[in-house]
Amino acid sequence: MKSITLFDSSLRDGAQAEGISFSVNDKLEIVRALDAVGIHYIEAGNPASNPKELAFFEQATALQLEQAKLCAFGSTRRKNILPQDDDNCVALLRANTPAVAIFGKSSLLHVEQILQTTAEENLAMIKDTCAFFTAHGKELIFDAEHFFDGYKLDADYAMQSLQAAVDGGAAAICLCDTNGGAFPWEISDIVQTVCNAFPRISVGIHAHNDGDMATASSVAAVLAGASQVQGTFLGFGERVGNACLAAIVPNLQLKLHYDCISPAQMKQLTQTALHIASIANTTVSKNTPFIGSNAFAHKAGMHVDGVRKLARSFEHIDPALVGNQRDFLISEVTGKAAVLKRVRDVFPDTAADSIHIPEVLTRLKNREFDGYTYEGADASFDLLIRAAIGNLPQFFELTSYTVLTEKPYSSEHSATATIKIRIDGQNEMVITADEGEGPVNALDKALRKALNPYYPVLKQVELLDYKVRIMESSSGTDTKVRVLITSGDGARTWTTVGVSHDIIEASWEALVESIQYKLIEQKGE
């Protein structure tokens, strides 16, 4: 098996994505995660760019990494100046990383119009900078910026830029599709030419996703001879993002039999992606190949039946290989097989011919007709199953609630909620009130105030996400709304749904089911 070197740029290129900002601790934690999952090089940022980067590199020296090499990133020396007199180059040395990635121009367009220097001076900048770092014992990776653009503009000059890096002692040359505009077959042809010209040098690929082909281009480059793949673990990066290593790695290893990471590390792929997304304060898109929650989700009855009989009939790999899992989405087009599986998740001893299965299907279809959806609300569907089977514990009963909103409001809170509920097993009525930032927040706080003395476990639960969907926009303000609430307790998350013409009533329904689901789980019923 040919080995492929993985170079992750989440902390540098990924940090250039909109909405992504890492603290020093965030970066340190991501480095540990990337090292654990088998990444070989971690491009950690430009130490000359800001004080936070300097602080990171100072603390990173204490990291005990199992496999990965930290890599500082910067540009070639400025024109008409020596590397040792260039503040950026000096800062890269002070970062004290075993490897350094230097980017330089490979396109005459950029040399003449962006750097505003001569072709000869740019080649000297590349060679001098590479030689400077190799003389200081650094493993030098040269990123040939805009290489594919430059190659199509002037192939000879683009190749000269690579030769300058090699003459300066570069251990690897990485070809960058910086604007993401090249097609995979162009990448393949050009990478093969470069590999033939530099047979003793590691050639890498750095693809951006502007044409939605970064994964395909990266795989094409490896098939053409590249031995290093650069990208960000989750694919986020400047503009529309970078090549997604979490998709490239299983494609290369599980399907094309290249050696990237160990099988055990491959099984940590999904969990690592979720962990990094959490640190980055973002989410893994459900539709992300291999690691997304929909990557192995099946909805149509025929598909579900096929997968249950023979998984590979509709799945290109076993989801367990990447640490993901199969899911059968529940909707009005769901067949009996999928419903039976979900019922057995709640009640394992349910027989295939149970009289409860038709009842669950009937309730499901009626509820979906009324506007409910259970594809993304598994917790609510579990409660529907319990209701259909007659095993739905009632921990409390609502007598009434009142919500008052005020605008302009004198306090810091815009709404007040009062609720009256009867706790299961208690004779007296419980009445509580609280203020909140809006009516839903006020109801949530008032309900928790009432329930926490009886069910302390609810102190662990917090509302993580709140979504409202207008069902029929043509009906104006009289339309139904669907509310989805995602809750979590630090160990897991779950989603519930409510539907009504009244947004507060729909929110209350989803909120109550969220709490009910947690209490059932806690009792282990």
Kindly report, residue by residue over 14-27, the tens digit of the pLDDT. Answer: 888 888 888 888 88
Cβ neighbours of residue 414 closer than 8 Å, sequence gap 6 or more: 405, 406, 407, 436, 437, 438
453 burial via Cβ count (<10 Å: 0-12, 13-18, 19+): exposed
- State the pLDDT at residue 391: 85
Q: State the average pLDDT over residues 474-496.
A: 82
Q: Does the pLDDT at position 333 exceed 60?
A: no
- State the pLDDT at residue 467: 86
- 112-126, 225-239, 371-385, 473-487: segment of lowest average pLDDT: 473-487
Does residue 183 share a domain with residue 105?
yes
- State the pLDDT at residue 408: 75
Q: Does the pLDDT at position 473 exceed 70?
A: no
Backbone dihedral angles phi then psi of residue 20, each to the nearest 5 degrees: -105, 125
Higher pLDDT, 187 or 282: 187
Average pLDDT, the chain: 88
* CA 75 – CA 89 distance, rounded (Å): 8
Pairing of strands 228-231, 5-8: parallel
Listed residue (497, 500, 466, 496) closest to 480, CA to CA:
500
Last residue of a domain, one of 205, 240, 261: 261
Q: State the average pLDDT over residues 270-295.
A: 86
Listed residue (252, 249, 379, 395) closest to 323, CA to CA:
249
Which pair of tokens denotes residue 474? 């043509």
- 102-111, 238-247, 386-395: segment of lowest average pLDDT: 386-395
| Integer CA distances (angstroms), 501 to 251, 369, 476, in order | 47, 14, 11
Q: Considering the domain boundaries, does residue 169 fall inside one?
A: yes
Q: Does the pLDDT at position 303 exceed 80?
A: no
CATH of the domain at 447: 3.30.160.270
Q: Does the pLDDT at position 290 exceed 90?
A: yes
Q: Considering the domain boundaries, does residue 267 fall inside one?
A: no
Question: What are residue 143's DSSP bridge partners?
Answer: 103, 174
Q: Does the pLDDT at position 461 exceed 70?
A: yes
For 500-517, what is each residue's pLDDT tens digit?
988 999 999 999 999 999
Do residues 377 and 496 lie in contact, with contact meaning Cβ atoms separated by under 8 Å?
yes
Does residue 357 share a domain with residue 400?
no
- State the pLDDT at residue 343: 83
Q: Considering the domain boundaries, does residue 125 fall inside one?
A: yes
- State the pLDDT at residue 243: 96
Q: Does the pLDDT at position 252 exceed 80?
A: yes
Q: Considering the domain boundaries, does residue 285 fall inside one?
A: no
Exposure b/e, 417-447, CB count within 10 A at least 16 = b: bbbebebeeeeeebebbbbbebbbbbbbbbb
How many domains does the chain contain in total? 3
- State the pLDDT at residue 258: 96
* CA 70 – CA 35 distance, rounded (Å): 10
* CA 349 – CA 27 distance, rounded (Å): 47
- State the pLDDT at residue 447: 92
Does residue 445 share a domain with residue 378?
no
Tokens 């209350």 sit on residue: 508
Last residue of a domain, one of 389, 410, 431: 389
Does residue 494 share a domain with residue 425?
yes
- State the pLDDT at residue 335: 63
Which pair of tokens denotes residue 271? 């969990």
Last residue of a domain, one of 261, 276, 307: 261
- Could you give the percent of the chain with pLDDT greater than 90? 53
Can you state the percent helix, strand and coil of the chain, rounding each to 5?
45, 20, 35
Does residue 417 share a domain with residue 347?
no
Q: State the average pLDDT over residues 449-462.
A: 90
- State the pLDDT at residue 331: 61
Does residue 402 share a domain with residue 357?
no
Q: Considering the domain boundaries, does residue 277 fall inside one?
A: no
271 burial via Cβ count (<10 Å: 0-12, 13-18, 19+): middle
Pairing of strands 228-231, 396-405: unpaired
- State the pLDDT at residue 132: 96
Do residues 223 and 251 lie in contact, with contact meaning Cβ atoms separated by under 8 Å?
no
Q: Considering the domain boundaries, does residue 274 fall inside one?
A: no
Q: Which domain holds residue 408?
A: 396-523
* CA 322 – CA 315 distance, rounded (Å): 13
- State the pLDDT at residue 210: 94
Does residue 213 share a domain with residue 304?
no
- 90-104, 207-221, 299-313: segment of lowest average pLDDT: 299-313
For 121-136, what is each residue's pLDDT tens digit?
999 999 999 999 999 9
- State the pLDDT at residue 133: 96
* CA 8 – CA 39 distance, rounded (Å): 7
Q: Does the pLDDT at position 32 exceed 60?
A: yes
Backbone dihedral angles phi then psi of residue 402, each to the nearest 5 degrees: -130, 135
Does residue 428 share a domain with residue 514?
yes
- State the pLDDT at residue 328: 67
Backbone dihedral angles phi then psi of residue 224, each to the nearest 5 degrees: -85, -5
- State the pLDDT at residue 351: 85
* CA 150 – CA 142 distance, rounded (Å): 15
Q: Considering the domain boundaries, does residue 325 fall inside one?
A: yes
Does residue 447 share a domain with residue 363?
no
For 39-71, what is each residue's pLDDT tens digit?
999 998 888 777 778 788 888 888 889 999 999
Q: Residue 99: in which H helix or E strand, if any?
A: strand 99-105
CATH of the domain at 156: 3.20.20.70
* CA 443 – CA 450 distance, rounded (Å): 11
Does residue 347 share a domain with residue 203?
no
Q: Does the pLDDT at position 476 exceed 70?
A: no
Which pair of tokens denotes residue 26? 């965030």
- State the pLDDT at residue 525: 55
